[in-house]
Amino acid sequence: MHPPRLIRVAAPLLIGALVLSACGSKKESGSTSGSKTLTIGVVAPLSGDLSAVGNGIKNGVDLAVKQANEKKTVKGYTLTVDAQDDTAKADVGATVAAKLVAASGVVGVVGPLNSSVAKAVAPVMAQADLVEISPSNSNVDLTGRGALATGGTQTRPYKSYFRVVASDDIQGPFAAQFAVGSVKAKTIAIVHDKKAYGQGLAEAFAKEAKKGGATVLKTETINPGDKDFSATITKLKAEKPDFLFYGGEYPEASLLTKQLKSAGLKIPLMGGDGVQADDYIKIAGAAAEGDFATALGAPTDSLATAKQFVTDYAAAKYADPIGPYGAYAYDAANVIIAALAKSTADGGKTGSALRTEVTKEVQNSDYDGITGKITFDQFGDTTVKVLTVYQVKGGKFVAAKTDTFK
Amino acid sequence: MDVFFQQLVNAIVLGATYGLVALGYTMVYGIVQLINFAHGEIYMLGGFGALTTYLALPSGTPAGIALPLMLVGGIVVSVTAAVIMERFAYRPLRSAPRLAPLITAIGVSVFLQELVRNFYPNAKAARNFPQLVNPDYQVKLGSSVQISAPQLLTVVVALVGMVTLSTFVRRSRTGRAMQATAQDPDTARLMGIDTDRIIVTAFVLGAALAALAGVSSGLQFGQVDFHMGFITGVKAFTAAVLGGIGNISGAVLGGFTLGLVEVMATQYAPDPFSGGAWKDAWSFVVLIIVLVFRPTGLLGERVAARA
């Protein structure tokens, strides 16, 4: 490497860093009305295929922050939202995470949507002890649960990482029990997209389905972003399955179910919470009828507390729908806000000391959210294990069964 | 055996799309030695052009009238974009070092994607495409071998496009001028050929074929999105290289070969490397093997003679 070239690269980076840090400090001390500002970050896909879900998360946080400002929940501070687009990619996630960590006014982060992105975001957050609550991650490794399946002991990989939804090793088996027990599936085909979420969920499903006595066919894989699944479907069709479980998200699942039924393989597709989105039905149309999807928690409209949220969300006139995780994002933001209120009560802590204090308060949360009571175990997992199976009926996801996983 | 033949049908459908898009890469490369990485976006714009045409039509227009109009709409949008792209992004760099237009092509690709993403209504996620050709209608080709109506349409449109192009290049005056320009642009210019016009013609033809592929993809999958050109573009470029970039029959052969490898790898690849997630890896294995033994691609020697 020639030194001058290095300088040429380094100089703009340095200037960029200076400008960024200037922005950060400005935000922190940006006191126009006498009260200080604190920021809650959001990391979610705000563009691309999953943007419908990602924007629901952003809006959920935005609503929580707006309400907290109106009620002055955190005394002496005005809260703002800094939403970053991770485009559902891990490398972009790591970059925007570093950006949020560098902005000293950020005291908590909601997101990301994808487990694969979380694996890149969580280490960055943990290093700065910046609390991160995901409204949707379900991969087992994020809280060290992966070790449990092989008989190991669980250790927490990221000290500031929390999630308000149950992990794949709960959701997968819950779906499998329903498929084998209620749908009476005999020969089950498994397809996943090889992403952290899809593969983890599909493997957990397959294991429990086998235990339940169903025949599980050899797992097929597809690539996220693929549109033509004809080769995979032809292969599956020869095996004559009567049920298909898909580990992945709705953009591929909707095309898969459509092509499945067009090809004459009229079996129900079941997916996890990544499939339980209105866009799944919008894209798949009539082909989605009869398909299943599990989701974490009880249906939003069945909870009395959630009804107010749905009304408020509608009143705020956001461009995007709540989506499957808007309510969880709202709760996650409120957990952070409640922790902030406690951490800032003595008024002394700022910067990294405040971040550490907020993380500690989140760990001790006991919050009555719209999706139920929120408490965390020592690994950052939610202690609530309520899940729901939905079925597409008349072009809508209708709750088929809500239960606590045993 | 039925499974094999069904997979063969799947491969032909997939290969038809790759081949159509690959033709655009290969024609432009053959004439100006530019790898036009924005060509995938021309394919995407074809889909959006057709969607826009459909939305502009009064509702209830019969499919028989709407479909040709949509094809025309898609072609118009793609061709317009390609002509503008050639005029303002590539022509000023005609005599610049080879890397400059290449980087420009990547820039144009990002620009077109972002343009659609930000300014086409609701295009941040996939947009539903009208399913004028019912995908549930299956044409039986054997006891259990079938092809859906939109798939059949894709193959027919691709074959018609390919044959028309090949006839045009071999028989017409402009086509022969294209061949001459590809062989030696300077001499061609001395012989009175307007090479600027020939280069635009190559972009126009490539864009029209890509638009056909874009529209048939929309019909087949029922959606178009702003980044659909990326993966298809990369695959089609691979197909063009596989067949021998610069060679028109090579692009078609490369397209069908790539489709065949992807589909057959999904069905028959040995166990730890089987399934759809490995199909791209297998495609590149085949590409590498072909390039090791035939560095100019399957039908590439004519390019060597040309250059």
Which residue reads 């030695």 in tokens? B33
Instruction: Report residue A5's pLDDT band, with 50, 70 and 90 as the boundaries.
Output: low
Distance separating alpha carbons of residues A275 and A294, to the nearest angstrom: 8
Strand A220-221 versus strand A187-192 pairing type? parallel
Q: Is pLDDT of A207 > 60?
A: yes
Contacts of B99 (CB under 8 A, 6+ apart): none
- Mean per-residue pLDDT, A237-252: 94
Closest A-chain CA to B15: A228
Q: Give the per-residue pLDDT at A31.
A: 39
Closest A-chain CA to B140: A263
B227 CB within 8 Å of a chain A CB: yes
Q: Choose among B11, B221, B263: nearest Cβ to A255.
A: B221
- B77, two tokens: 């949008």
The ipTM of this complex is: 0.89
> A259 to chain B, minimum CA–CA distance in Å?
8
In this structure, what DSSP letter does residue A246 have?
Answer: E
Distance separating alpha carbons of residues A116 and A135, to the nearest angstrom: 14
In this structure, what DSSP letter does residue A316 have?
Answer: T
Instruction: Give the model confidence (pLDDT) of B56-79 as tens digits.
Output: 999 888 989 999 999 999 999 999
Angle between the N-to-C axes of helices B2-32 and A230-237, in degrees from 0 to 180, rounded to the nearest 10: 170
Distance separating alpha carbons of residues B231 and B235, to the nearest angstrom: 6
Distances (CA, A) of A303 to A299, A373, B253: 7, 12, 59
Q: Give the per-residue pLDDT at A2.
A: 52
Q: Choose among B10, B128, B225: nearest Cβ to A282.
A: B128
**Cβ atoms of A146 and A136 closer than 8 Å:** no
Give the number of A-B residue pairs with CB atoms closer than 8 Å: 96
Q: Give the per-residue pLDDT at A213.
A: 94
Instruction: Give the model confidence (pLDDT) of A36-53 as tens digits.
Output: 899 999 999 998 878 888
Distance separating alpha carbons of residues A123 and A348, to the nearest angstrom: 27
Q: Is pLDDT of B170 > 60?
A: yes
- B244, two tokens: 């021998």
Q: Is pLDDT of B299 > 50?
A: yes
Tell me if the bond preceding A12 is cis, omega within 30° of 0: no
Distance separating alpha carbons of residues B187 and B159, to the nearest angstrom: 33
- A105, two tokens: 């006014």
> A7 to chain B, minimum CA–CA distance in Å?
24
- Mean per-residue pLDDT, A156-169: 92
Going by C-alpha positions, the residue among A286, A311, A208, A224 that lies closest to residue A49 is: A224
B55 CB within 8 Å of a chain A CB: no
The Cα angle at residue B202 between residues B167 and B24, in degrees rounded to 5? 85
Range in A176-180, B66-70, B125-129 the model is least confident about: B125-129
Answer left, alpha or beta for residue A298, where phi above 0 means left and psi between -120 and 50 means alpha. beta
> Do residue A279 and residue B125 have CB atoms under 8 angstroms apart?
yes
One-letter identity of residue B94: R
Distance separating alpha carbons of residues A239 and B7, to the nearest angstrom: 15
In this structure, what DSSP letter does residue A218 have?
Answer: P
- B78, two tokens: 């793609």
Q: Choose among A49, A226, A264: nearest Cβ to B138.
A: A264
Q: Is pLDDT of B120 > 60?
A: yes
> Do residue A263 and residue B148 have CB atoms under 8 angstroms apart?
yes
Distance separating alpha carbons of residues A56 and A318, to the nearest angstrom: 9
> B121 to chain A, minimum CA–CA distance in Å?
12
The H-assigned helical ranges of A72-167 are: 90-102, 115-127, 146-149
B266 CB within 8 Å of a chain A CB: yes
**Cβ atoms of B291 and B250 closer than 8 Å:** no
Instruction: Give the model confidence (pLDDT) of A78-131 as tens digits.
Output: 999 999 999 999 999 999 999 999 998 999 999 899 999 999 999 999 999 999
Closest A-chain CA to B5: A234
Return the CA Rg of chain B: 19
- Name chain B contacts of A235, Cβ cutoff 8 Å: 3, 7, 266-267
Q: Classify A367 as helix, strand or coil.
A: strand
Q: What is the pTM of this model?
A: 0.82
Distance separating alpha carbons of residues A134 and B114, to the nearest angstrom: 28
Strand A77-85 versus strand A36-44 pairing type? parallel
For an interface test with B, the pick among A227, A236, A246, A279 (most B C-beta atoms closer than 10 Å) comes out as A227
A219 CB within 8 Å of a chain B CB: yes
- Name chain A contacts of B220, Cβ cutoff 8 Å: 227-228
Q: Give the per-residue pLDDT at A25.
A: 42
> Do residue A235 and residue B3 have CB atoms under 8 angstroms apart?
yes
- A24, two tokens: 């950060």
Instruction: Give the model confidence (pLDDT) of B110-119 as tens digits.
Output: 999 999 999 9
- Name chain A contacts of B125, Cβ cutoff 8 Å: 48-52, 279
A404 CB within 8 Å of a chain B CB: no
A249 CB within 8 Å of a chain B CB: no
- Name chain B contacts of A229, Cβ cutoff 8 Å: 276
| Percentage of chain B lying above the pLDDT 90 cut | 78
Going by C-alpha positions, the residue among A59, A52, A60, A46 that lies closest to residue A331 is: A60
Q: Which has the higher per-residue pLDDT, A277 or B211?
A: B211
Q: Is pLDDT of A34 > 80?
A: no
- Name chain A contacts of B126, Cβ cutoff 8 Å: 49, 251, 283
**Cβ atoms of A300 and A310 closer than 8 Å:** yes
Distances (CA, A) of A162 to A126, A133, A337, B225: 11, 5, 15, 34
- Name chain B contacts of A56, Cβ cutoff 8 Å: none
Distance separating alpha carbons of residues B139 and B160, to the nearest angstrom: 20
A301 CB within 8 Å of a chain B CB: no
- Which residues of A, range 19-78, sit inside 8 Å of B by Cβ? 47-52
Q: What is the residue-wise DSSP string for chain B?
A: -HHHHHHHHHHHHHHHHHHHHHHHHHHHHHHH----TTHHHHHHHHHHHHHHHHHHSPTT--HHHHHHHHHHHHHHHHHHHHHHHIIIIIGGGTTS-THHHHHHHHHHHHHHHHHHHHHSTT-SSPEE----S-TT-EEESSSS-EEEHHHHHHHHHHHHHHHHHHHHHHHSHHHHHHHHHHH-HHHHHHTT--HHHHHHHHHHHHHHHHHHHHHHHHHHHSEE-TTHHHHHHHHHHHHHHHH-TT-HHHHHHHHHHHHHHHHHHHHHS-GGG-SGGGHHHHHHHHHHHHHHH-TT-TTTHHHHHH-
The Cα angle at residue A97 between residues A92 and A98, in degrees rounded to 5? 100
Instruction: Give the model confidence (pLDDT) of B176-188 as tens digits.
Output: 999 999 989 899 9
> Do residue A48 and residue B262 have CB atoms under 8 angstroms apart?
no
- Name chain A contacts of B138, Cβ cutoff 8 Å: 262-264
- Name chain B contacts of A49, Cβ cutoff 8 Å: 125-126, 225
Answer left, alpha or beta for residue A285, where phi above 0 means left and psi between -120 and 50 means alpha. left
> B135 to chain A, minimum CA–CA distance in Å?
6
Look at chain B and count its residues.
Answer: 307
- Which residues of B, range 229-248, sit inside 8 Å of A by Cβ? 231
